[in-house]
Structure 1
Amino acid sequence: MKPPARLMSLIEEGLIDSVVRQLMSGKEAMVFVVRCGAETRCAKIYKEATQRSFRQAVDYTENRKVKNSRSARAMAKGSKFGRQEQEAAWQSAEVDALYRLAAAGVRVPQPYNFCDGVLLMELVTDAQGDAAPRLNDVAFTPEQARQHHATLIKEVVRMLGAGVVHGDLSEFNILLAHTPGVDEADGLDEPVIIDLPQAVDAAGNNHAQRMLLRDVANLRDFFGQFAPELLATEYGPEIWSLYQAGLLSVDMPLTGRFERSQASVDMQAVLREIDDARAEDAARRLRMATAG
């Protein structure tokens, strides 16, 4: 196919040989399958801020550090240069998160290069070598649902241990990759977490707890369709409570149970949670309608 204009600089630099096809177009980026020598990879082209539909971006960018003091001042002032720097910071956040999480043992796509607003990374594939399906595109047996849910809860814990909360984790941004050397009939595919430009710092973002609880609730609600007993679990509050107490680790067995404090309730926080849940449900319905 004819290469998109945004990929021409990567072709000229020799980072990409050819563009095979468009893989998807999402709320913050378009993804293309590309050839790089003997390998097939994917190129993620980030949309400009005016074209993105990702909501509440200010919640996700809170307390993100910018090394250049001039850029930080310009971003605070909201100047044209500042907006450009803020956009660059938003785009590079995914690259930083991918390297950080991969180092922590989280299964994410391997990044190869980031150039001119394009992220070149691993193409996650199924057993036939085609692009791996999303969780949303697959039906599971109860046992498969329980196993995948347990795996992804551990991934959430690993991410939190690395100081990262995904912030938009759901069945729409988790792929099922074939594990090399494993016969398709002998084992489960491996969940791979994608789409991380909105990842937040667990310690530095005031919305981190709310986002983690929502991420875990999304996993519960999706897999609970296939294994209904999961709907009664409360891994999110349990994980966050252990994290706050400095007791969380990947090896710690979780129960999925949580006893809430009887202290007074912050009603404003509760109302914010309700509003956010409504907005998230509306966004999920829109994604499902679009995917269908």
Structure 2
Amino acid sequence: MKKLDEEHERLLSELDRRKMKRRKDSDEFKVVEGVIDPPTLKALYKLLNKGAISALHGVISTGKEANVYRGEDGDGNSVAVKIYRVSTAETDFMLEYIVGDPRFKRVKKRSRALIPQWALKEYKNLTRYHDAGVRVPKPLDIHRNVLVMEFIGDPKSSISAPMIKNVEVPSPVKTFNQLLRMITIGYTKANLVHADLSEYNILWFKGPVIIDVSQAVLKTHDNAKRYLIRDIQNITSFFRKLGVESENPEKIAEHILASGEE
């Protein structure tokens, strides 16, 4: 119990230290204040007790939906800790992607009730993608609005991987084809369509890694085809800027849809 109490104190002091940063760090101060509320702190404690995390460090990325922090597991290895906003979350757009999903039959429309379901949806989608062989962060654990995932980046320096839009892609044609294969495998083996794929949610670490899959829908979703075409349009548009010529996005989508029916 003494060791557990010490771990609690260490995590709490780290969180408190971040909340009490001087005004020169006011942006991070506001971010942490807006994400780590008392219920979230309880969720972090739960994951601490399970050994999923032992420390929480700097912000990797911030967004309207969630912030991602670098953390450590019980063995000191880097992990990514995604904390979904609860009190300040915008949830209206989420309903389009979760209502009708047979995995979530009782969708809560109030933000405080919907956010844990949204986080669980990302965990389930990551599991599907990972098990199918698509390069995504491996999901490690979840409790309510806190998701623990594999850290994508240099494990020695703990520097997180950049977005693909911020790197010089070494072989654009090869990478474009890799992503099309990932989309195809996601559709045919994971039975998912990302539904928001673009250069903003693809990391680059020894190749492309797809992230932010909370909105991904089952291929049986009424709008799955439309989302698939939109994903491909985004990818072809980005790679066109890198000199990659490709088929019409609708035709590429038709090939993928046909392969999913085999």
Does residue 1:224 correspond to 2:262, yes or no?
A: no
The percentage of counterpart residues that share the same residue type is 27
Q: Distance in 2 between matches of 1:55 and 1:170?
A: 21
Change (3 A) 1:246 1:152: closer
2:229 counterpart SS class = helix
Once the two structures are TM-superposed, the CA of residue 43 in structure 1 deviates from its matched residue by 0.4
Q: How many residues of Structure 1 are paired with residues of Structure 2 in the alignment?
A: 222
Q: Over residues 150-191 of structure 1, what are the superposed CA-to-partner deviations in whole Å (9 max), with x where a residue is unaligned?
A: 1000000001112100011011111111xxxxxxxxxxx211
CA 1:87–1:160: 2 relative to 1, 3 Å: same
Alignment of 1:90-105 (within 5 A): 90-105=118-133
Q: Deviations over 1:47-73 (max 9, x none)?
A: 12x6335773232123112466xxx2x
Task: Provide closer, same or farther for how the CA distance between residues 55 and 14 of structure 1 changes in structure 2, counting only shifts above 3 A.
Answer: same
Residue 85 of structure 2 contacts residue 115 of structure 2 at CA under 8 Å; is this kept in 1? no
- Looking at structure 2, the residues matched to 139 and 53 of structure 1 have their Cα atoms a distance apart, in angstroms, of 34
Structure 2 residue 42 is the aligned partner of structure 1 residue 29: no
Within-5 A mapping of 1:65-84: 65-66=102-103, 72=106, 75=108, 84=112
Distance 1:38 1:55 in 2: 38
Pairing partner for 1:241 from 254, 259, 262 = 254
- Give 2:14's aligned amino acid: K
Matched residue, 1:64 = 101
Corresponding position of 2:168: 139
Decide whether aligned partners of structure 1 residues 193 and 55 sit closer, same or farther in structure 2, where only a CA change above 3 A counts: farther
TM-score of the two chains, using structure 1 as the length reference: 0.68
Structural RMSD (CA): 2.6
Structure 2: runs of 5 or more not aligned: 1-12, 16-35
What is the match of residue 190 of structure 1?
Answer: 207
Decide whether the 8 Å contact of 1:21 with 1:33 is kept in 2.
yes
What is the rounded CA distance, in whole Å, between the counterparts of 1:93 and 1:15 in structure 2? 19
Identify if the C-alpha distance between structure 1 residues 132 and 248 changes in structure 2 by more than 3 Å, giving closer, same or farther.
Answer: farther
Task: Name 1:281's counterpart in structure 2.
Answer: none
Could you say what secondary structure the match of 2:148 adopts? strand
What is the deviation of 1:17? 1.6
| 1:239–1:248 Cα contact (<8 Å) kept | no
Alignment-derived partner of residue 213 in structure 1: 229
Alignment CA distance shift 1:247-1:194 (3 Å): closer
Residue 155 of structure 1 aligns to which amino acid in structure 2? M
**1:19 deviation in Å?**
1.5
**CA, structure 1 residues 39+52, in 2 after alignment: closer, same or farther (shift >3 Å)?**
same
User: Cα gap change, 1:226/1:239 in structure 2, threshold over 3 Å: closer, same or farther?
Assistant: closer
1:52 to 49, 74, 89: 89
Gaps (5+ residues) in structure 1? 178-188, 250-292
TM-score by length of 2: 0.75
Q: Structure 1's 169 and 115: CA in aligned 2 closer, same or farther, altered over 3 A?
A: same
1:238 positional shift: 2.7
Distance change >3 Å, CA 41–CA 246, structure 1 → 2: closer
What is the aligned partner in structure 2 of residue 175 from structure 1?
203
Classify 1:122/1:248 alpha carbon distance in 2 versus 1 (closer, same or farther; 3 Å): same
Offset, 1:111: 0.9
| Aligned-pair CA distance for 1:237 | 2.0
Q: Which amino acid aligns with 1:38?
A: G
Query: What does 1:81-120 align with in structure 2 at a 5 Å threshold?
Result: 84-120=112-148
- Once residues 64 and 247 of structure 1 are traced to their aligned partners in structure 2, the CA distance between those partners, rounded to angstroms, is 19
Contact 1:59 1:207 (8 Å CA) reproduced: no
Equivalent-residue separation in structure 2 for 1:194 and 1:66 (angstroms): 21
- Aligned to 2:169, the other structure's residue is in SS state coil
Aligned in 2, Cα 1:43/1:208: closer, same or farther, shift over 3 Å?
A: same
**Kept in 1: contact 2:116–2:144 (CA 8 A):** no
Normalized per residue, which structure has more helix? 2
How many Å apart are 1:22 and its aligned residue?
1.2
| Structure-2 residue corresponding to 1:157 | 184
